[in-house]
């Protein structure tokens, strides 16, 4: 078939010295443009790279004349002879920088209006404007390369898992509300007025049902939709590597995922991750790092000074200890801090909820501290033993988990401020044995820490039931001490994904729903299908889901997941390019039997 335009027979990136003298046709966009004394130089960009093209009166008067019309981002076709650039005019930073194309024919395939955002370089435009013209921003190689990297990552994962017997299976988007913890996006059913589908927050129940169906290893690059408030690491829709395996135990699942992640790190970052990864139980993570996603690229673990001050005469410490609270410390051994720097650390801790933050300094073997004169000799010498001259120890007396969290945040702040993080390192680890449930202030009830399908640590669960005469009693405060078989993969202090060994027995699953406050009727109407499925010989199974967007920003070094999503939404959930969400017509609403009741 005849092509209506001069179609390319080469890509910019293919041009090499040996081609000098050859006639080629290139297609692409005008990336840069210079008029030097009547000769026009343009950089032509296609998806592969760039090539300098020259419009010279003596080569083709007609093309030279047409070249006057060129502006940035015109879409063009050029035919010309590949030539070596004159000596001194090479650009060694460019792959084709020793060459140019002497154009004998130019065809303007499509002109380009005045650009709202710069393509040839980062024009520093507002994020929203760049999102409105995202397709132009994506013309910039440094932006589109991330999307190509995304593709490569997905292919790598697909191959890795297929080679290990995993089967990729699609699950419905029009699904049923799932208890993942976020708000559902609802889709009204036209055929069944008043009924709604929910877009899946994750394929959790479907993948478990696939295990009941007998597929031993499932995965899916799955879109998950959650109607939550957005943050830098959160979008309304995100992509997960969703996985599930049957006839496995926790070590099988963790082993498979860490092998995958170490292979990804080798392939994409040429970085050796040694496996098995460290595994830190949740409780220990909180006690040592004050957070369930510790950044292990630096030390400075939280120290518990409870024993040293067990019989202290310092009243406020004693009273915190008597109430079951803790005396926690961070040893900062990097550099001496000035008075105002110490004050700034205290100020930060207060912003996190501390009443105050004390400190000890080893001042050449003498203890310097506002508390020093109230301390016993034994306390003083034990503290001094922990500090080298010049070291500072920040001390917090606080009750409950909040104390650990304050110290955890202070630890991170100190590491960032004083540059303690080794940026060349990747610290991958598992946090295991998460609590089974937590208290939700918003809902005023016990809710799952992970999700309700997570298997408890069975011995603990059985003891809990025994204590409560066989009833899953949410009012027994020891419920918060129960652990589950849930785990998170953490990289450099970011949660990459989570999963668990699942419940596969209908009786246990029903007990957990009851613990979460559901009545038998609610359980049957909302979860009858999965309880049924578990009663037909459901195999032991477990799995996890890893965030693809979060994994990618670890690889690209970006801060926000919007950088690696082709068409992201703003923090208000708006797509400025397509202008969505948007109102719909009355006819559409009528068909769906929906009447709007909008706030004034």
The residues of the shown chain that bind ligand ASP, judged by CB under 6 A, are 180, 202, 204, 498-500, 543-545
SS3 361: strand
What stretch of H or E contains 287? helix 282-289
Q: 524 and 509 in contact (C-beta within 8 Å)?
A: no
- Minimal distance, residue 354 CB to ligand ASP, in Å: 32
Smallest distance, ligand ASP to C-beta of residue 390, A = 45
Min separation Cβ 171 and ligand ASP, Å: 11
- Nearer to ligand ASP by Cβ, of 239 and 380: the residue is 239
Q: How many CB atoms lie within 10 A of CB 367?
A: 19
C-beta separation of 337 from 331 below 8 A:
no
Q: How far is residue 284's CA from residue 221's CA, in Å, rounded to a whole number?
A: 32
The token pair that represents 581 in the structure block: 């969400």
Give the nearest distance from C-beta 64 to ligand ASP in angstroms. Answer: 60
Of 27 and 500, the one with the shorter C-beta distance to ligand ASP is 500
**Cβ at position 44, least distance to ligand ASP in Å:** 45
Nearer to ligand ASP, 182 or 384 (CB): 182
CB 441: neighbour CB atoms within 10 A?
Answer: 7
The minimum distance between CB 237 and ligand ASP, in angstroms, equals 13
Residue number with CB closer to ligand ASP (216 or 576): 216
Min dist. Cβ of residue 546 to ligand ASP (A): 9
- How many Å apart are CA 278 and CA 263, to the nearest integer? 17
Is residue 293 within 8 Å of residue 494, measured between CB atoms? Answer: yes
Q: For ligand ASP, which is the closer residue by CB, 52 or 500?
A: 500
Considering the complex, state which of residue 244 and residue 405 has its C-beta at the smaller distance from ligand ASP: 244
| Residue among 333, 329, 342, 305 nearest 389 (CA) | 333
Q: How far is the CB of 308 from ligand ASP (least distance, A)?
A: 41
Question: Please, which residue, 503 or 545, has the CB nearer to ligand ASP?
Answer: 545
Q: What is d(CA 596, CA 530) in angstroms, rounded to the nearest whole number? A: 34
What pairing do the DSSP bridges indicate for beta strands 186-188 and 196-198?
antiparallel
Q: Which residues of 142-171 are buried (b: 16+ CB within 10 A; e: fewer)?
A: ebeebbeebeebeeebeebbeeeebeebeb
CA distance 150 to 244: 22
Return the number of the residue (130 or 451) whose C-beta is nearest ligand ASP: 451
Q: Which is nearer to ligand ASP, 305 or 455 (CB)?
A: 455
Closest to ligand ASP by CB, 97 or 181: 181
Is there a contact between 276 and 250 (Cβ–Cβ < 8 Å)? no
The answer to whether 318 and 312 have CB atoms below 8 angstroms apart is yes
Q: How far is the CB of 543 from ligand ASP (least distance, A)?
A: 5
Q: Name the minimum Å distance from CB 111 to ligand ASP.
A: 47
Looking from the CA of 441 toward its CB, the CA atoms found within 13 Å total: 0
Smallest CA-to-CA distance from 453 within 419, 496, 500 is with 500
Place of tokens 């970085």: 271
């Amino acid at each position: 078939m005849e092509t209506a335009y001069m179609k390319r027979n080469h890509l910019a990136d293919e041009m090499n010295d040996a081609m000098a003298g050859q006639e080629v046709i290139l297609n692409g966009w005008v990336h840069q443009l210079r008029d030097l004394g009547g000769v026009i130089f343009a950089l032509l960009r296609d998806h592969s790279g760039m090539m300098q093209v020259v419009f010279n009166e003596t080569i083709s008067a007609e093309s030279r004349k047409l070249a006057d019309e060129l502006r940035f981002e015109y879409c063009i076709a050029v035919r010309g002879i590949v030539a070596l650039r004159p000596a001194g005019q090479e650009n060694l930073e460019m792959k084709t920088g020793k060459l140019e194309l002497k154009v004998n024919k130019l065809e303007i395939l499509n002109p380009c209006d005045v650009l709202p955002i710069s393509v040839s370089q980062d024009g520093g435009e507002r994020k929203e404007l760049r999102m409105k013209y995202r397709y132009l921003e994506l013309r910039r190689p440094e932006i589109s390369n991330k999307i190509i990297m995304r593709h490569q990552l997905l292919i790598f994962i697909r191959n890795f898992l297929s080679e290990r017997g995993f089967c990729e299976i699609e699950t419905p988007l029009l699904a049923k509300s799932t208890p993942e913890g976020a708000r559902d996006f609802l889709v009204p059913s036209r055929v069944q007025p008043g009924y709604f589908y929910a877009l899946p927050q994750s394929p959790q129940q479907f993948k478990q049902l696939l295990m009941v169906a007998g597929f031993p290893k499932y995965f899916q690059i799955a879109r998950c939709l959650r109607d939550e408030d957005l943050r830098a690491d959160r979008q309304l829709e995100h992509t997960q590597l969703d996985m599930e395996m049957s006839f496995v135990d926790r070590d099988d699942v963790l082993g498979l995922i860490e092998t995958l992640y170490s292979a990804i790190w080798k392939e994409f970052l040429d970085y050796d991750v040694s496996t098995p990864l460290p595994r830190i139980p949740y409780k220990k993570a909180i006690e040592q790092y004050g957070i369930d996603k510790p950044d292990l690229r630096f030390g400075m673990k939280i120290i518990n000074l409870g024993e040293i001050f067990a019989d202290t005469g310092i009243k406020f410490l004693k009273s915190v200890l008597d109430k079951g609270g803790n005396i926690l410390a961070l040893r900062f051994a990097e550099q001496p801090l000035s008075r105002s720097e110490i004050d700034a650390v205290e100020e930060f801790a207060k912003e996190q909820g501390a009443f105050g933050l004390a400190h000890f300094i080893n001042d050449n073997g003498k203890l310097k501290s506002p508390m020093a004169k109230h301390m016993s000799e034994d306390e003083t010498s034990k503290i001094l033993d922990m500090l080298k001259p010049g070291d500072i120890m920040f001390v917090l007396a606080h009750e409950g988990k909040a104390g650990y969290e304050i110290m955890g945040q202070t630890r991170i702040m100190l590491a960032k401020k004083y540059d303690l993080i080794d940026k060349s390192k990747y610290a991958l680890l598992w946090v295991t044995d998460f609590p089974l449930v937590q208290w939700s202030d918003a809902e005023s009830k016990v809710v799952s820490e992970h999700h309700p399908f997570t298997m408890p640590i069975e011995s603990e669960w059985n003891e809990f039931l025994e204590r409560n005469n066989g009833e899953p009693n949410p009012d027994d405060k020891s419920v918060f001490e129960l652990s589950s078989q849930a785990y998170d993969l953490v990289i450099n202090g970011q949660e990459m994904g989570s999963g668990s060994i699942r419940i596969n027995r209908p009786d246990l699953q029903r007990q957990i729903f009851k613990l979460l406050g559901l009545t038998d009727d609610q359980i049957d109407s909302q979860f009858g299908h999965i309880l049924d499925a578990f009663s037909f010989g459901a195999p032991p199974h477990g799995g996890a889901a890893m965030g693809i967007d979060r994994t990618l920003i670890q690889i690209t070094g970006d801060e926000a997941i919007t950088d690696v999503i082709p068409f992201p939404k703003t923090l208000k959930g708006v797509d400025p390019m397509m202008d969505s969400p948007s109102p719909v017509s009355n006819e559409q609403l009528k068909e769906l039997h929906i009447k709007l009741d909008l706030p004034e």
